[in-house]
């Protein structure tokens, strides 16, 4: 599932700074962080789509019936709720561990 996110990040990779071709480590780190965030979002969407499709669509056809639409919507909502709960717990734990260092 290629959505085109991040396809042009590589072209800007060392171009910020304009100081005679020197690479700006801060700019590079920001671009890497953006690429990681995009990759994580794509993975989340792909996993959610796969899981909810397998759960809700028994016999694929030309269109989704009403019950399949409801199942997909509920599945995606629950998946996102679970993802957000895990993310909050993970970030909270990271903050506690950083505070204890």
**Domain total in the chain:** 1
Question: 12 in a domain, yes or no?
Answer: no
Lowest-confidence region among 41-45, 58-62, 86-90:
58-62
Question: 32 in a domain, yes or no?
Answer: yes
CA dist 12 and 6 (Å) reads 11
Picking from 68, 41, 73, 42, the residue whose alpha carbon sits closest to that of residue 57 is: 68
Residue 39 is part of which domain span? Answer: 26-100
Question: 62 in a domain, yes or no?
Answer: yes
Question: 9 in a domain, yes or no?
Answer: no
Q: What is the pLDDT of residues 21-40, one digit of tens each?
A: 678 888 999 999 999 999 99
Question: 19 in a domain, yes or no?
Answer: no
Q: What is the mean pLDDT of the chain?
A: 83
Looking at residue 23, its pLDDT comes to: 82
Q: What share of the chain is helix, strand, coil (3-state, %, to 5)?
A: 70, 0, 30
Question: 50 in a domain, yes or no?
Answer: yes
Question: 4 in a domain, yes or no?
Answer: no
Measured between its terminal Cα atoms, the distance across the chain in Å is 41
pTM of the model: 0.62
pLDDT-above-90 percentage for the chain = 67
């Amino acid at each position: 599932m290629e959505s085109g996110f991040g396809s042009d990040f590589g072209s800007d990779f060392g171009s910020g700074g304009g100081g005679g071709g020197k690479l700006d480590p801060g700019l590079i780190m920001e671009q890497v962080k953006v690429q990681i965030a995009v990759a994580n979002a794509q993975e989340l969407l792909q996993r959610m789509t796969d899981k909810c499709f397998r759960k809700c669509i028994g016999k694929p056809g030309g269109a989704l019936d009403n019950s399949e639409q409801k199942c997909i919507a509920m599945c995606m909502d629950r998946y996102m709720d679970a993802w957000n709960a895990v993310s909050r717990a993970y970030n909270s734990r990271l903050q506690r561990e950083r505070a204890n260092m």
